[in-house]
Chain A
Amino acid sequence: MTAESSQGRQAAQDPRRGSPVPLWAGVMIAGLAAMTVVLLGLLAVSIMERRWETQRPALVVQPLAEWEPNSAAWGQNYPVEYESYLRTRVTDTKTKYGGSYPRDYLEADPYQVILFAGYGFTAEYRQARGHYYAIEDVTKTKRLKTPFNAATCWTCKSTDVPRLMSQMGIKEFYAANFHDLAKEITHPIGCQDCHDPQTLRLRITRPALKEAFAALGRDINAATHQEMRSLVCAQCHVEYYFRTDEKAGLKNYLIFPWGKGTTLEEILAYYDGQNFSDYVHTVSGTRIIKAQHPDYELYLTGIHAFRNVSCADCHMPYHTEGGVKYTDHHVQSPLLNVANSCAVCHRWGEDEIRTRVESIQTKVEKAKLAAEDALVHGHFDVAAAGQAGASAEELGNARQLLRRAQFRWDFIAANNGMGFHSPQESMRLLGEAANLAQQARIDAARVLAKRGITAPPQYPDISTRQKAWEVAQAFAGGQGIGLLP
């Protein structure tokens, strides 16, 4: 019998000293104590980490070259922003009118097949996916022409573009063949498009915006940081056209039509002054201007621009994670992030905000569809007048009206956000579009009446994309279909 166990028995006999603790309980007590120490340690580490995260200096792990196109290289220095940028890979987000999935506009709205008859958009027109897919999507669209397509189409698709422009020259870049540059262009829209690699300050890398500012008599270098948070987007999310002028040595030169200003009337006046059109409508023979995506121009007429709210404030809201404040680089519809975008200023419930936005968009959509209806019938009416033997001179006024109407409609239809960038301006332009298209129809009806035709034309069935496509094809072939009653 050892000394220890005899001590234990003595202890058991003395009630004040208590009974011995069994070994298993001792081990458990030790385990509990160890666990408590570990948990306390973890908590202490967590608190210290959270205290220090604001003081952590921005660490430049890898210095960046002047035209570093690879966003992953930037991501080594700026991991939080890069990780959020990578989420532009998401392709399954849906809002009522937007989101990141490639919504097929022609399937949803066959009237547009007729409205774009004579232009690539009649074959394919999808909602763009996230920035991450810019290169893949531009090389896959059916609108891309072979063997030659303007290299200008690369301008807004890749971080390789500024480097190529500096190597080749701006004019030469635009004049090149899209397909010849395909090997050089591999990195989709990314960090370098908007940021200076040394200082991370926002900077304009696309010459078209600088030139457009110069044409407006404004100095883009004088822009404030808050303005730059919209202007970097305005490098691409604007109305533009390609100018070919052999005398000036320009081929497919990218220009924003802002010479007279950025409102619809000023842009249209500029185009009229250039006698510009994108295509001749194969149904009505109208010289049409295709609006691109004048998001920035429309935004300028809205309340958010008036209040100096930038694109980034809603589409890339600030985010605070612990002590670190950063800009969310997952560029997306604010409706997918209402709490952090809208609710920062509009302090209502998320559902209430969403309902409000969608009710505005739904009204714009209805006005848009009404304008489309008038436009489509306008094109057929003018075509019917042509089939009745009307001369180009007789139809000139109606075609001019259709040109003005369709550009107004497209200015809103091609915009992202179903008019939300400026709801009042959207409704005004769609109302004017419907009115001008109806005036064109009256004009065509008078021309027909002069020839004794007073019954309405026989409008073809364009209720599905396929049917509309066949009608558009018939007119593209020059035959058309008989519209006269």
Chain B
Amino acid sequence: MDIVGRVNSIVTLAGLPRFLQIGVYSLVDAGVGLAVLLARIANATSYLSDDPQTCINCHVMTDAYASWQRGSHGRVAVCIDCHVPHSSIVAKYAYKARDGLKHSYVFTTRSEPQVLNLSTPAMPVVQANCVRCHSHQVMRVASAGPQRQCWDCHQNIHGNVRSLSASPIELRPGLPDAGLEWMKKGDEG
């Protein structure tokens, strides 16, 4: 049997009782609707952008955001300038996808550690990005001896005290809007 015919019959649900056809189409429609809603409340499109607010779509990075925002890098760089590779656009989005999936899995299962450290695959990325901007400062250091990471010495880029809870509540930004604010208006009246 040809493939076009099979796909066609599955899509049209040919030969099935009418109630099953209606049921399946309703469920698929509900699924599509939920997927759209999900994409909206998860700010899904923001993950394609460079906006640092993207990184606090969930709570885990709240402290990292607060310490970045008030640090020296907060004036010149955003999250992805350091934490995502910039060698090519393919590398950038492949890395975002891989890291993002890992993060969403960890946060959904509530298995995030209280104190975050750079993961092993993240180290060369961040190191390359330090050098990308600071190359004129580190040229001689790099040629001086064995490979060292910038943060072996500069440990306080995100502050001296580090944990998911480190920043005081007043400095912790809220989550970005998820487009559902219109639902709350009814309560206020």
Contact = CB atoms under 8 A, between A and B. Distances in A.
Are chains A and B native binding partners rather than an unrelated pairing? yes
Size range of the chain A interface in the assembly: 35 or more
Contacts, number: 139
A344 B14 contact: no
B41 A51 contact: yes
A47 B43 CA distance: 11
A18 B6 contact: yes
B161 A44 contact: no
B14 A17 contact: yes
B155 A347 contact: yes
The residue in B24, B108, B162 that gathers the most chain A C-beta atoms within 10 A of its C-beta is B24
A27 interface: yes
B115 A20 contact: no
Contact of A30 (B23, B62, B155, B175): B23
Interface in B67-104: none
Given A51-B175, A345-B160, A19 B6 contact: yes
Question: Secondary structure at chain A's binding surface: helix, strand, loop or mixed?
Answer: helix
A8 interface: yes
Contact of A44 (B6, B20, B41): B41
A325 B62 CA distance: 11
B16 A23 contact: yes
Contact of B13 (A21, A48, A50): A21
Interface string B15-30: 1110011011001101
Contacts of B164: 320, 325
The listed residue with most A CB atoms (<10 A of its CB), out of B13, B20, B59, is B59
A46 B9 contact: no
Contacts of A321: 110
B10 interface: yes
Contacts of A51: 41, 175, 178
Nearest to A12: B15
Given A17-B14, A27-B20, A41 B34 contact: yes
B58 A50 contact: yes
Interface residues of B, number: 52
A239 B43 CA distance: 56
Interface string A305-334: 000000000000111111101000000000
Given A43-B38, A318-B163, A19 B27 contact: no
A458 B129 CA distance: 74
Contact of A340 (B16, B17, B114): B114
A474 interface: no
B120 interface: no
A8 B14 CA distance: 8
Interface of A: 8, 11, 15-23, 26-27, 29-30, 33-34, 36-37, 40-41, 43-44, 46-48, 50-51, 54, 317-323, 325, 339-340, 343-345, 347
Given A19-B9, A44-B38, A319-B114, 6 more contacts: A16-B5, A18-B6, A30-B20, A30-B23, A30-B24, A30-B27
Which 8 residue pairs are nearest across A and B when measured between Cβ atoms?
A20-B15, A18-B9, A318-B165, A18-B5, A33-B27, A320-B164, A40-B34, A26-B16
